Amino acid sequence: MSRPLLKWAGGKRQLLHEIMEKIPSRFETYWEPFIGGAALFFGISATTSSAGRRSVLSDINPDLCLFYETVKGNPAELIEYMESLEFGNNPVDYYEARETFNRMRGNEYPIEKSGLLLYLNRHCFNGLYRVNSKGEFNVPFGSYISPKMPSREHIISASETLQNAVILNKDFQEVLSNAEARDFVYLDPPYEPVSSSSNFTAYSSKGFNREEQVRLSSVLKELDRKGTSFLLSNSGNSFLEELYDGFHIKTVEARRNINSKGSKRGTVSEILVSNY
């Protein structure tokens, strides 16, 4: 069974069971326009009814999309590069890897950049992805006792799972204009910040504020008119509940452990909104 290769803020692994139970029993193309670690994509792909189904995966983060393209198209080269990497689990190596990663602009070095992204993701603070105003990855060293890198089998199985997926690097609105009736869309946009100090929206240099939530809700209402099924997960709060008034809303409890202050861990409520 294939599992996510990346740790991702807001990753859906702990809610996966709950979400999997809610997905429609039949649908055509699977759409996930906020991929991150793609926990649901990997979860769904492991079910027998998904064999051969087409998926469209997209995210606004270009490094993340390059990473999935590389895993899909060049797993052997990526594994070979990972095995040649000499960066260890210490701050000196980590900051050198981070600097090397930041020097590789655009998509010029897909294998190296994707390999470094994987190393950084497993060694940085809380598996966060955050960039500064110059677009440079700036998450500090994570100080884990023994961070695990994915095995070659894990990379190969993720690559096989990605073979029927189209990977796009686009804004959600543009991507979803192509979804059709009988398709299923799962959306896991950046969270509404739980408190003013939390850093949940810092996935890319562009934040995801209330205006973005409203823009997303209009796209989902349009999908609903077209007959496309959608399921949205987000943090539970009255603003979102009002925005999706009239749809099915289920509240679930989740543990959240990615926060700018490690002390602020605990249970929060999440909502699952669907039109079916």
Interacting residues toward ligand SAM by CB under 6 A: 8, 10-12, 33-34, 36-39, 59-61, 171-172, 188-190, 203-204, 208
Between 66 and 87, name the residue whose CB sits nearer to ligand SAM: 66
Q: Output the smallest distance, CB 99 to ligand SAM, in A.
A: 22
Q: 55 or 61, CB closer to ligand SAM?
A: 61
Q: Find the residue with minimal CB distance to ligand SAM.
A: 36
- Region for residue 155 given its phi and psi (left: phi exceeds 0; alpha: psi -120 to 50; beta: otherwise): alpha
Rounded to a whole number of angstroms, the minimum distance from the CB of residue 246 to ligand SAM is 24
What's the 3-state SS for 113-140? HHHHHHHHHHHEHHHCCCECCCCCECCC
| Residue among 149 and 219 whose Cβ is closer to ligand SAM | 219
Q: Which of 126, 137, 121 is nearest to 87 (CA)?
A: 121
Name the minimum Å distance from CB 173 to ligand SAM. 8
Maximum pairwise Cα distance, the chain: 54
Residues 68 and 63: their CA atoms lie apart, in Å, by 9
Minimum gap (Å) between residue 190 Cβ and ligand SAM: 5
Give the nearer residue to ligand SAM in terms of CB position, either 12 or 122.
12
Residues ≥6 apart with Cβ < 8 Å to 10: 36, 188, 190, 191, 200, 258
Rounded to a whole number of angstroms, the minimum distance from the CB of residue 126 to ligand SAM is 13
Complex with ligand SAM: residue 34 or 87, whichever CB lies closer: 34
DSSP secondary structure letter of residue 243: H
DSSP E strand boundaries for 120-225? 165-168, 184-187
93 three-class SS:
helix
Query: What is the token pair recorded at 14?
Result: 């702990």
Structure tokens at 116: 């470094």
| Minimum distance, C-beta of residue 63 to ligand SAM, in the bound complex (Å) | 10
In the sheet with 248-256, reading across from the earlier edge strand, the strands are 165-168, 55-58, 30-32, 184-187, 229-235, 266-274, 248-256
Least distance from ligand SAM to the Cβ atom of residue 273, Å: 15
